[in-house]
DNA sequence: ACCTGAACACCGTTCAAGT
DNA sequence: ACCTGAACACCGTTCAAGT
């Protein structure tokens, strides 16, 4: 079987391909394990997840599972990493929307909200990875991987911001605060989504029209930054719907079923 | 001893006082337990905390500890509740600042940041209480108590917002969105502080001037809401320092030691 | 009515033995 | 070189016995 693979791949470097195939196999198994883990969490909640159940539901032994993940929290971190990968793919797609730069920015926020709705458990893992319980115990390698992915999202936002500044949609005297702008967007996105999902019982959330709360928050922030066109000059509710229809039509209609 | 207490209290209702004393004793013990728990978390991290260690470090048995807390997560929730109580006391004090209504609003944000700096572990408990692990397992009574405290903070913000609207500092056409404004403030506060503390390693945070990041975010949001005077018309950095000096001088100087 | 701590069940983690 | 699962240590939780 190993031989078969190496020939079908017509590799010029047999050993390299062999290694790479082995690595591929391990990576696939890891994804398989993460899938099983997520399923357990979906059905039994986070507190219902145990390593024993994971071993019972997959075809590998405890030792093999612990070969992949240093400990339980490391596995949470791995799930968070997969969640971020998915989020980044949504973010990249969202930038394809036809429209102003501010609408593209809306697309980035839309992506995170969509992630939280399509894969709530995955999204919760991303939130949990920012929790001391995970930060204290996950392996160094995994935590670093996560930082790299965060850097990717930061790069996407940075690029959009500097385009907006050079194009004049954001006043150029904001250029010296570009990093602050990026952090403000992240904070608002993180805070809004975390509370909308995990504080749904709180009066300050339950009394809201939760469908528009996020957009309201973004509009307030982007108006405050002075990102043109301001929300008074443009119907961003329309833009929000357009992002759903034009970029994420498949995902949105799947959600509504 | 019971008799002694009841006479020194010169109660008109002996039985009621007895009960109330007993209840007081139980409440005191609970605070004592929470104090010990917090100390363990400070010294050994969240993942280092166990119920066994709590029992070892206090003078009560396992059964008694479990009389207070339904389970470990319930104890986390109790710590979060104490954290919120402390936060609310800071928020109330912060409203005493002399100045505009927007400066009072700054005081509310200042309170949360101060909480995260004076009692980091307590603050982290408040964040953790918004995590599925805790939400899934804490007792109903405790979760409800927390909702009530959240309602108190919401009420403080609501009151300030409606004063600002009637006084004209916020345009009165915002009146219909008062709840949205409240949620926007909460989201920004929650998101900024959570990330400043738990994502310190991320490039988007580490490259910041963390001392001014929160104020930058608030200013952007409040400008976007159109809360007068705008940040272009007023030196809020000065206000921020003033809040520290005038309302929280003791806490701030203790921090700088 | 409340407290106690031994006892239990379960969970996370390891590692000697196997392939 | 990697996989296995029995074994272990520890942790969370309970409850019969005690005051």
DSSP letter string, A5-51: HHHHTT-S-HHHHHHHHHHHHHHHHHHHHHHHHHHHHHHH-STT--H
Contact B2, B21 (CB under 8 A): yes
Q: Which whole-number Å values give the CA distances from B253 to B64, B114, B239, B256, in the listed order? A: 39, 12, 17, 5
Q: How far apart are CA A92 and CA A94, in angstroms?
A: 5
Residue B182 domain-assigned? Answer: yes
Alpha helices in chain A (DSSP H): 2-8, 14-44, 51-57, 62-68, 72-94, 101-118, 120-128, 132-137, 140-167, 178-198, 203-206, 210-225, 236-246, 249-256
Cα–Cα dist B86/B70, whole Å: 23
Tell whether A139 is covered by a domain: yes
Exposure of B141 in the CB half-sphere (CA atoms within 13 A): 7
B32, B159: one domain: no
- Position A20 in a domain: yes
pLDDT exceeds 50 at position B3: no
Indicate whether B5 belongs to any domain: no
Residues A196 and A144 in one domain: yes
Residue pLDDT, tens place only, A59-110: 999 999 999 999 999 999 999 999 999 999 999 999 999 999 999 999 999 9
Does residue A170 lie in a domain region?
Answer: yes
Reported as a pLDDT band with limits 50, 70 and 90, residue A19 is: low
Six-digit token pair at B178? 């008062």
Q: Which residues contact B39 (CB under 8 A, 6 or more apart)?
A: B57
Q: Are residues B86 and B62 in the same domain?
A: no
Q: Which of A102, A107, A228, A98 is nearest to A169 (CA)?
A: A228
Domain count, chain A: 2
Q: Is B18 on the interface with A (CB under 8 A)?
A: no
Cα A239 to Cα A99: distance, rounded to the nearest angstrom: 9
Mutate to test the interface with A, among B42, B128, B132 (most CBs of A within 10 A): B132
A227 within some domain: yes
- Residue A197 sits at the chain B interface (C-beta within 8 Å): no
Residues A53 and A116 in one domain: no
* Residues B144-168 pLDDT 10s: 999 999 999 999 999 999 999 999 9
**Is A91 in contact with A149 (CB distance < 8 Å)?**
no
Rounded to whole angstroms, the distance from the CA of residue A30 to the C1' of nucleotide D6 is 24
> Among A71, A174, A204, A237, which would you mutate to test the B interface (most chain B Cβ atoms within 10 Å of its Cβ)?
A204
- What is the biggest distance separating any 2 CA atoms in chain B, rounded to whole angstroms? 66
Q: How many residues does chain B have?
A: 257
Same domain for A63 and A164, yes or no, is: no
Tell me how close the Cα of A147 comes to any Cα of chain B, in angstroms: 6
CA distances in angstroms from B171 to A57, B165, B175, B187, listed in the order given: 58, 6, 8, 21
CB proximity under 8 Å: A 158-177 to B: 177
Among B230, B231, B103, B86, smallest CA distance to B160 is for B103
> How big is chain B by its Cα radius of gyration, in Å?
21
Q: Are residues B160 and B90 in the same domain?
A: yes
- What is the tens place of the pLDDT at every residue in A146-183? 999 999 999 999 999 999 999 999 999 999 999 999 99
- What is the pTM assigned to this prediction? 0.92
């005077």: which residue's tokens?
B229
A195 touches chain B (CB under 8 A): yes
Nearest C-alpha in A relative to B136? A47
Judge whether B200 lies within some domain.
Answer: yes
Total residue length of chain A: 257
pLDDT category of residue B19 using cuts at 50, 70 and 90: low
Same domain, yes or no: B131 and B43: no
In a domain, B55, yes or no: yes
A38 with A154, same domain: the answer is no
> Within this chain, do residues B173 and B207 fall inside the same structural domain, yes or no?
yes
Quick one: DSSP state of residue B45? -
Comparing CA positions, the residue from B138, B122, B36 lying closest to residue B80 is: B122
**What average pLDDT does range B105-127 have in this prediction?**
97
Q: Which residue is nearest to nucleotide C14 (CA to C1')?
A: A63
Whether residue B101 sits in one domain with residue B50: no
**pLDDT category, A21, cuts 50, 70, 90?**
confident
Distance, Å, A93 CA → D7 C1':
50
Residue range of the domain that includes B26: 11-68
Residue A65's CB is within 10 A of a number of other CB atoms, namely: 19
CB-based contact (8 Å) between A143 and chain B? yes
Among A68, A89, A115, the domain-final residue is A68
Same domain, A103 and A63: no
The residues of the protein lying within 7 Å (CB) of strand C read: A 49-52, 62-63, 66, 71-72, 137; B 22, 26, 29, 60-64, 66-67
Q: Is the pLDDT of residue B226 over 60?
A: yes
A50 vs B contacts (CB less than 8 Å): none
Q: Give yes or no: residues B100 and B201 share one domain.
A: yes
Where does the pLDDT of residue A257 fall: very low under 50, low under 70, confident under 90, or very high at 90 and above?
Answer: confident
Choose the final residue of a domain: B48, B68, B88.
B68
Token representation of residue A191: 């805070």
Flag whether residue B137 sits within 8 Å of chain A, measured between CB atoms: yes
Closest CA to A97 of A215, A257, A238, A256: A238
Say what the pLDDT of residue B16 is.
52
Chain C positions with an atom below 7 A of a protein C-beta are: 2-7, 10-16
Whether A63 CB is under 7 Å from strand D = yes
- Neighboring chain B residues of A202 at a CB cutoff of 8 Å: 147, 150-151, 154
Contact between residue B107 and residue B176 where contact means Cβ atoms under 8 Å apart:
no
Q: Which helix (H) or strand (E) holds B228?
A: none
Q: Is B7's pLDDT higher than 70? A: no
Q: What residues 30-89 of chain B have any CB closer than 8 A to a CB of chain A?
A: 45-48, 73
Closest partner residue to A187 (CB to CB) among B133, B143, B195 is: B195
Give the domain CATH number at B213. Answer: 1.10.357.10
End-to-end Cα spacing for chain A? 43
């Amino acid at each position: 079987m190993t031989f078969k693979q190496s020939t079908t791949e017509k590799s010029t470097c047999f050993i390299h391909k062999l290694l790479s195939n082995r690595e591929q196999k391990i990576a696939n198994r890891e994804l398989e394990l993460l899938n099983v883990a997520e399923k357990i969490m979906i059905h039994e909640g986070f507190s219902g997840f145990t390593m024993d159940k994971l071993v019972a539901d997959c075809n590998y032994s405890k030792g093999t599972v612990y070969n992949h993940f240093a400990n339980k929290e490391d596995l949470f971190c791995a799930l968070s990493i997969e969640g971020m990968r998915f989020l980044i793919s949504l973010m990249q797609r969202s930038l394809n929307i036809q429209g102003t730069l501010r609408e593209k920015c809306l697309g980035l926020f839309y992506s995170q909200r969509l992630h939280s709705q399509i894969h709530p458990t995955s999204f919760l893992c991303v939130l949990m990875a920012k929790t001391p319980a995970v930060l204290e115990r996950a392996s160094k390698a995994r935590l670093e991987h996560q930082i790299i992915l965060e850097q990717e999202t930061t790069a996407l936002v940075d690029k959009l911001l500097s385009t907006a500044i050079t194009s004049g949609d954001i006043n150029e005297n904001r250029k010296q605060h570009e990093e602050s702008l990026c952090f403000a967007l992240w904070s608002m996105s993180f805070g809004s989504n975390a509370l909308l999902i995990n504080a749904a019982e709180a009066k300050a959330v339950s009394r809201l029209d939760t469908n528009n709360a996020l957009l309201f928050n973004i509009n307030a922030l982007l108006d405050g930054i002075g990102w043109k066109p301001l929300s008074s000059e443009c119907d961003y509710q329309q833009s929000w719907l357009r992002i759903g229809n034009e970029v994420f039509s498949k995902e949105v209609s799947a959600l509504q079923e």
